[in-house]
Chain A
């Protein structure tokens, strides 16, 4: 198994960032010819999803998720958290992350990531700006 971390410093409250080139680079670096790659975010207010990398779709994704988790709802998570010593103001981030999921998988054949022509890997920020870490786990031989 070959594991590397992608470090990201996001700049917006909600941000969709294509990380396909970074994932492909790590797969190549791993030397694994046949196997699987998992891209896994280490955070609970971020997601990893696969979609077509188009500005219009990013806008639609953002709007659709905001319909599901609008900012001005009375969320239970809006409270002081003793474990953090700070206030939790990010319930919408947690809920949006639940929808996108926290990981994706791709097949590796002949050392190449097998993705469809329209498929890109997105890191999804739902509580930015923030410092984020994404694991890329390459398994196989």
Chain B
């Protein structure tokens, strides 16, 4: 089983019937000239990348520009291809209805985890306003995928997303599985530090800010930190994530496979760790 833990379906055709909504998504995600993608194209892309499942992430910025991809839309996409899609929930912590929405997303919509973007929400992960959200995730045994490190989206502040900003959450909630997405780039060593200390901290590989996929991954995963750190110590905490459509799923999946990890490590990165993070696929 191979899984891409970090996919944004904002431009999938079935949820882009309204051109004004599509335009809002282009503007607020700062992704342009990509058009919308029929699901058949997504499936072709998955086949070329050698991926069985995609984890679809919403974007809820209700307190600022609005909810760009809603939990209901994620559910709708999952229902269109339940054998291929895994759906996450989104809430804006500044939205007074955040907890109610999250309860609904887990209990009624049966979404598998929560996506949060502290840099866009302008809320520190350790802010007390986050505690009820963490409590709900623990109650339902659902993981949180946090944006970490640089974000290309407009109105994002990186200081909210530095890996160290998540340490309090990892320490205070040892039963809560959290993913510091994008390997916390450029703070790759700090992300590695948190993972080696806290077994409930995961990361994904959704970063490609310079060069091509092979060159960037070679820098990030063999020079910024040596390959051995992952292959020996962090092999159960790193998940393949592409951050598609910002980045290139096919070439990133191919590049990860060519970095020289042990075959058993590669199997964990490409799917096994995601299943653990999600708490199973059922």
Q: Which residues of A contact B212 (CB under 8 A)?
A: 75, 78, 87, 89
Q: Is the CB of B32 within 8 A of A9?
A: no
Prevailing SS type, chain A contact patch = loop
Closest-CB distance, A55 to chain B (whole angstroms):
20
Within B203-260, the residues touching A (CB, 8 Å) are 208-215, 245-248, 250-251
Q: Which residues of A contact B32 (CB under 8 A)?
A: 83-85
Q: Which of B40-48, B99-107, B264-272 contacts A (4 or more CB under 8 A)?
A: B40-48
What total of A-B pairs shows CB separation below 8 Å? 61
Within A93-115, the residues touching B (CB, 8 Å) are none
Q: Which residues of A contact B215 (CB under 8 A)?
A: 74, 78
Interchain CA distance A85-B210 in the complex, whole Å: 12
Interchain CA distance A89-B37 in the complex, whole Å: 19
Point out which of A9, A78, A129 has the most chain B C-beta atoms below 10 A from its C-beta. A129
Residue tally, chain B, CB below 8 Å to A: 30
1/0 contact string of B14-54 vs chain A (CB within 8 Å): 00000000000000011111110110110011011000000
Q: A78-B212, A89-B251 are in contact. Are A12 and B48 (CB under 8 A)?
A: yes
Q: Is the CB of B209 within 8 A of A80?
A: yes
Q: Is the CB of A79 within 8 A of B35?
A: no
Q: Which residues of B contact A11 (CB under 8 A)?
A: 44, 47-48
Query: Closest chain B residue to A131 by CB distance?
Result: B41
Interchain CA distance A89-B213 in the complex, whole Å: 8
Q: Which residues of B contact A131 (CB under 8 A)?
A: 35, 37-38, 41
Please list the residues of chain A having a beta carbon within 8 angstroms of any beta carbon in chain B: 9-13, 72, 74-75, 78-80, 83-87, 89, 128-131
A-B pairs with beta carbons under 8 Å apart, 24 shown: A9-B38, A9-B40, A9-B41, A10-B44, A11-B44, A11-B47, A13-B48, A13-B250, A74-B215, A75-B212, A78-B211, A78-B212, A79-B211, A80-B152, A80-B209, A83-B33, A84-B33, A87-B247, A89-B248, A128-B48, A129-B48, A130-B41, A131-B38, A131-B41
